[in-house]
Structure 1
Amino acid sequence: MSLTVKEMMEAANAAVERIDMARAVEVLGQGGLLLDVRDGAELQKTGRAAGAHHISRGMLEFHADDELQSHDPELRKDRPIILYCAAGGRAALAGKLLKDMGYAQVYNLGGFKDWVEGGGDVAGS
Structure 2
Amino acid sequence: MRIRMRIRNKINRHFLMIFCVMLLLSSGCAQKEENITFRGVIEDITENSILVTVTGDSTDFDKASVDISHAERKVQLSVGQGVEITILPEIRESYPVQVTGIEIRPINQKISAQEAKAMIDGEEEVIILDVRTRSEYQAGHIEGSVLLPNTEIKEKAAQVLPDQNAKILIYCRSGNRSAQAAKLLLEMGYTNVYDFGGIIDWPYGIVQ
- TM-score grouping bracket, smaller chain normalisation: 0.7 to 0.9
Amino acid at match of 1:98: L
Residue identity matched to 2:165: D
Could you tell me which amino acid in structure 2 is paired with residue 35 of structure 1? L
> What is residue 25 of structure 1 aligned with on the other side?
117
Query: Quick one: which of 131, 136, 142 aligns to 1:42?
Result: 136
1:59 aligns with 2:146: no
Cross-structure match for 1:76: 163
Gapped runs of 5+ residues in structure 1?
A: 1-14, 66-70
Figure out how many residues of one structure are paired with residues of the other and give that number: 100
Q: Give the deviation of 1:39 after TM superposition.
A: 0.4
After TM superposition, the score normalised by the length of structure 1 is: 0.73
Which residue of structure 1 aligns with residue 178 of structure 2? 91
Residue identity in the other structure for 2:116: A
Would you identify which runs of 4 or more consecutive aligned residues in structure 1 move more than 2 Å?
25-29
Note the C-alpha offset of 1:22.
2.8
* Alignment partners' CA distance in 2, 1:64 and 1:76: 10
CA contact (8 A) 1:27 1:80 kept: no
CA distance in 2, matches of 1:35, 1:49: 9
* Preserved contact between residue 17 and residue 107 of structure 1 (Cα < 8 Å): yes
More helix by share: 1
Alpha carbon RMSD of aligned pairs, Å?
1.5
- Normalised to the residue count of structure 2, the TM-score between the two structures is 0.45
Identity, in percent, stands at 31
How far residue 31 of structure 1 moved from its aligned partner, in angstroms, is 0.7
Q: 1:75 offset after TM fit, Å?
A: 4.2
Which one has a bigger Cα radius of gyration? Answer: 2
Evaluate the alpha carbon distance shift between residue 106 and residue 50 of structure 1 in structure 2; reply closer, same or farther with a 3 A threshold: same
Per-residue CA deviations over 1:25-47 (Å, capped at 9, x if unaligned) read 233331111100000121233x1
Shift of 1:100: 0.4
| SS in structure 2 of the partner of residue 48 of structure 1 | coil
What are the ranges of 5 or more consecutive residues in structure 2 without an aligned counterpart?
1-106
State how far apart, in whole Å, the 2-side matches of 1:44 and 1:77 are. 26
